[in-house]
Amino acid sequence: MKVDKLSISFEPELGDAVRSAAAQAGKPVSSWLAEAAASKLRAEALAQFLADWQAEHGVLTPEEIGHAERELGLTAGDTAA
């Protein structure tokens, strides 16, 4: 598989936390970071989709959000980012 190597820099505390989280997950740091980056990109794409949808159709109501949370099996505590 072809890979794209990147060089990144972190503040020491963040670097330590990333290494620790990767070790706890049993993954190499590069794999852990790739998953984190993919998750961030998905979240940003969803936020943009929702912003575009709401610009065209209006803001989602609390009832619509509650329905979506129930359909997705989410609770209020699950939605913290």
Chain segment 45-73, per-residue pLDDT in tens: 999 999 999 999 999 999 999 999 999 99
Q: Record the pTM.
A: 0.75
Positive or negative, the CA dihedral 79, 44, 39, 46 is positive
pLDDT band at 4 (very low <50, low <70, confident <90, very high): very high
Domain ranges of the chain: 12-79
Residue 29 · residue 22 · CB < 8 Å? yes
